[in-house]
Amino acid sequence: MRTQDSATPLTAIAVTAAVTEADTARRRTGTLQAALGVVAFSLTFPATAWGLEGFGAWSLVAARSVLAALIAGGCLLALRVPVPARAHWAGLAVVAAGVVLGFPLLTTLALKTSTTAHAAVVVGLLPLTTALLSALRVRTRPSRTFWLAALAGAAAVIAFTVQQSGGALTGADAYLFGALLICAAGYTEGGRLARVMPGWQVIGWALVLCLPLTVPAAAVALSYEPVHLTAHGVAGLLWVAAGSQFLGLVVWYRGMAAIGIPKASQLQLAQPLLTLVWSVLLLGEHLTPAAPLTAAAVLVCIAMTQRARG
């Protein structure tokens, strides 16, 4: 009896340690997945700029959604995934409106007259907006340290991107701020749904849900807007369809489900800086010496939000 009594606490400690180790591994994997999503999203604006070289704005948005839906629908059919429960369709509609239709359309229209550097302003505000909506919708309660670090990171990104664009507001800003709000809603609802179904199914069903709208829209847009097939145009379309619209959102929603919507959203503080790097490498835009300083400040803020409890 004594042997059993003495072994019981040891067994409990071993089980607790195993659970803690598994939880730590899950959070590390979730952080990596969310980070990969950020990298994929950081290429969206440069790829959109490439796509606009060969397609009109409406054609590009509709075609990317149709192509992404075909990829997602093929996966759903091949794996014989059952249709989601009726209770989830309202949330899927919010995801569809936010990340499948609203954000791509509004940012594409903005990029017709705005540079990628200026458009990065909306991404600089997106992490904070997503965290705020998450607190309201999912009832998350991040700590005060989290909010202070999030605000500091957002301020650093906004200051840098506004400085990059010369400090002037443009006509595209209305599109960008509208995209900010609707995308944050889509991220929040998608992160919530990813807790009850795989992340790839969340975006997959959202894309399929839009097909009755995107297929006719693509047919009409392609018939009215001129198409000039170039290497940049095709590459841009393929990336925003497969990379940004599907694969990026798959790992992004999985990451949010693992580490929580607020912490995942703060990883996006790095997205505008990555976008600006891609804009230099792919589009030939110019950066100021403030870029590495801002990058260092943002990385510190990200580290603080990831370590903050609550």
Q: Which amino acid is at 147?
A: W
Residue 39 exposed, middle or buried by CB count within 10 Å (0-12, 13-18, 19+): middle
Question: Looking at residue 161, what is its pLDDT?
Answer: 66
Residues 6+ apart with CB under 8 A from 309: 143, 145
In the prediction, which pLDDT does 9 show?
66
What is the spatial distance between Cα 191 and Cα 89, in angstroms, rounded to a whole number?
14
Distance CA 304, CA 20 (A): 21
244, 41 contact by CB (below 8 A): yes
> Going by C-beta distance under 8 Å and a sequence separation of 6 or more, which residues neighbour residue 146?
131, 262, 263, 266, 304, 305, 308, 310
Please give the Cα distance from 105 to 107 (Å, whole number).
Answer: 6
d(CA 131, CA 122): 15
- Identify whether the C-beta of residue 108 lies closer than 8 Å to the C-beta of residue 225: no
Instruction: Find how far residue 175's CA is from the centre of its chain.
Output: 17
Q: Is 139 left (phi over 0), alpha (psi -120 to 50) or beta?
A: left
Overall residue count recorded for the chain in this entry: 310
**Pair 270, 124: CB distance under 8 Å:** no
User: What whole-number distance in Å separates Cα of residue 90 and Cα of residue 137?
Assistant: 14
Residue type, 290: A
| Closest by Cα among 45, 53, 64, 111 to 232 | 53
The amino acid at 201: Q
In the chain, the amino acid numbered 114 is S
Angle at 13 between CA 12 and CA 19, to 5 degrees: 90
Residue 7 is predicted with a pLDDT of 53
What does the block give as tokens for 162? 């506004």
- The pLDDT averaged over each successive group of 10 residues in the chain (310 residues) is 55 61 80 92 92 92 94 92 91 92 89 75 74 75 78 78 64 81 89 86 93 94 91 94 90 86 80 84 77 72 68
Which pLDDT belongs to residue 145? 81
Q: What is the pTM of this model?
A: 0.78
Q: What is the pLDDT of residue 55?
A: 92
